[in-house]
Homo-oligomer: A and B are copies of this chain.
């Protein structure tokens, strides 16, 4: 079994500019934030972000000039804060192209890539202006002649997914909601996992049914305690409302956003952050109620 453990900076160094990059999680939950911050620190450019519903991750990558396109069904902070200011400004200024999807067509595109076909028929969009705006075409069922929308395959160059537990080979467990993460793993050419806990994979053999990401599909494994912060991570931590509130306030203007970025991302290398939060993580009690009867806990 191959040891795929690497540092966050080495893993993210493999992400090429102008790549299609899928981000796991959904809105403010289990986003791969540590990796997102590292993408900013490494000054990546031209990324086409793929996500069903993004929030902090998509927003800050648009604000930092890393993204040039966003393929998503939704970008916003729900009722927690409202619209995504950085994404919105970048699109309105023509700096970022909004490739509008419905969440289901993002899924359909990832399914097509997973299944090695050029498109996926999808029962959606039948009463929508989105296909015309985005150039989605219809295809006729060769049996009945019925027309159905075809979503082109979305093959991410890299999928970045934050998980609860991974072993060195990349076998991984996600507790609670899966979101589209497993589908992103199968669709992508390369897969970077960031994990709250690195575990001895032999312990997974007692309940292999819980391990929904198979190691052979994974390229890099990074130990990233609290790697979803300020987003929630099921059973471990909730959204950090203080951090998010500061961010959202500072994101309203370019100057204050620059200051935020400098303080919280550019001048805060993750390896230092990580050491701090790792110590913190050591003292974390896993929430038994939320995680259920998890047999094998790391560390």
Binding site for B on A (CB under 8 A): 112, 115-123, 137-144, 146, 148, 150, 152, 175-176, 205-210, 212, 292-295
Contact = CB atoms under 8 A, between A and B. Distances in A.
Contacts of A143: 118-119, 137, 150, 152
A139 B121 CA distance: 11
Copies of chain A in the complex: 2
B118 A120 contact: no
A139 B137 contact: no
Nearest to A145: B118
Contacts of A140: 139
Contact of A208 (B112, B120, B292): B292
19 contacts: A112-B121, A115-B122, A115-B123, A116-B123, A118-B121, A118-B141, A118-B143, A119-B143, A120-B121, A137-B142, A139-B139, A139-B140, A139-B141, A139-B142, A175-B209, A176-B209, A208-B292, A209-B210, A293-B295
Contact of A206 (B119, B208, B292): B292
Contacts of A295: 293, 295
Contacts of A138: 142
Contact of A293 (B118, B123, B137, B207): B207
A280 to B, nearest CB: 26
Nearest to A142: B137
A141 B150 contact: yes
A165 B97 CA distance: 49
